[in-house]
Structure 1
């Protein structure tokens, strides 16, 4: 039940974000600060909850190779979405968000295997924080392009359901899988998340909040470190 609750909360951030983007507006620098803080938290979470645990079941070269593979695949798919759909229209935006969110939520689900929810609080919290402004900006852009607020909300709700399914699949489908396979999937997802930080999260944060981005990243990293210690 706790696992399901964590997944619902992180995915619901997309719906809350869409409501935020449709009906409320925060200054760009505040949104940028939140995005940068979430990115800093994800750095800690990816290392502590995904990569380091995999060293128990995979050799070092296997961990490094799989992380690099996840980064390469994400970067290639992200480039394809950008070339094919650009930054215009709801479909391209939703594909980009889904491409970013699926590895994050798959990583969340697989990280919860054999771990109490408190042990991955930093990962769940950072995904929640990154989903909020991402959905807010996306919904606002859809409305500016002529879509109704109701349509934007329904589209983002659909993405939230899809990402919830990815997280639940990462947990229940892999619960009885061999530890080696779980380690491979975690490392592959970690590589994809790291690539998304470099190509999506930090550039967006710097564009919106250049003066405070470095501090926000440090704050997010510190909060994630503190949360991770609660599970010890």
Structure 2
């Protein structure tokens, strides 16, 4: 339990670190885009190796396919509804958008930590950390243009706390779930993560960094492979 709490709070702490970076220091758009693409590449590998592949050992390819697709569909619909009904100008809309983007990753982390040591989910935790850092920095920088720095940092702090509590609660509630159901939840989370990469992460990375996005994505993929190898030893 202590391991889960430490890992979740370290990963969520990247939101606070990133928000402080975006509010109080300069963040070049090219660097922001490069880091986002790097994290995206790492998350692709992590979703496959830490969520989908373990699920395949517990259930069939048909079930894996169905739940990955379900996760992607649900995230896409939720993302569309948030964007259309709340927008990104109101505080509630910003909080909803930020939280929605973080839910799949934190759910994936909480589920992956069930019955595993910290090194076994090193790739996933590291990938989410890398993803949270530039996302929070870029988002906080934009938000600070229309709000006070204290308000912006408070919003990100509340989001980090909310996502941390949700990940820990999910980890505790799902700890006793049967392996086949846990496999389905892993796949659902993986599908949502992949959908969020396609709709939010890579498009933003390309807008900020353009043609080196592909290179950064490949480097992120290799980084996740290296962390996975380290975690497997």
State if a TM-score over 0.5 links the two structures.
yes
Give the aligned partner of residue 32 of structure 1.
Answer: 33
Alignment correspondent of 1:83: 84
Checking the alignment, whether the CA contact within 8 Å between 2:205 and 2:213 is kept in structure 1 is yes
- SS of 1:58's partner is coil
Contact 2:88–2:97 (CA under 8 A) maintained in structure 1: no
The answer to whether the 8 Å contact 2:120/2:231 transfers is yes
Give the Cα separation in 2 of the matches to 1:68 and 1:45: 17
Task: Measure the CA separation in 1 of the matches of 2:46 and 2:213.
Answer: 19
1:47-66 correspondence runs (5 A): 47-66=48-67
Structure 2 CA distance, aligned partners of 1:113 and 1:31? 32
Report the RMSD for the aligned CA atoms in angstroms. Answer: 1.0
> What does the per-residue CA deviation read over 1:131-159, in whole Å, with 9 as the maximum and x for residues that have no partner?
111111222222211x1111111111110
Q: Secondary structure at the match of 1:25?
A: coil
Q: Partner of 1:104 in structure 2? A: 105
**5+ residue gaps, structure 1:** none
Output the CA distance in 1 between the equivalents of 2:25 and 2:92.
23
Select between 189-198 and 96-105 the one with higher mean Cα deviation: 96-105
- Structure 2 SS opposite 1:209: helix
Runs of 4+ in 1 over 3 A off after TM superposition: none
Kindly report which structure 2 residues correspond to 1:171-190, keeping only aligned pairs within 5 A, or say none: 171-190=171-190
CA distance in 1, matches of 2:134, 2:94: 14
Residue 129 of structure 1, CA deviation:
1.1
Q: Any conservation in 1 of the 2:40–2:201 contact (CA below 8 Å)?
A: yes
Aligned counterpart, 2:128: 127
Mapped to 1, the partners of 2:129 and 2:91 lie a distance apart of 22
Structure 1 residue 194, shift from structure 2 partner: 0.2
The equivalent residue for 2:22 is 21
CA distance in 2, matches of 1:211, 1:12: 30
Q: How many residues align?
A: 231
Measure, in 1, the Cα distance between the counterparts of 2:158 and 2:220: 28
Output the CA distance in 1 between the equivalents of 2:137 and 2:217: 20
SS at match of 1:144: coil
Matched, 1:210 2:210: yes
**Does 130-139 or 27-36 show the bigger shift?**
130-139
> 1:93 offset after TM fit, Å?
2.1
Give unpaired runs (5+ residues) of structure 2.
none
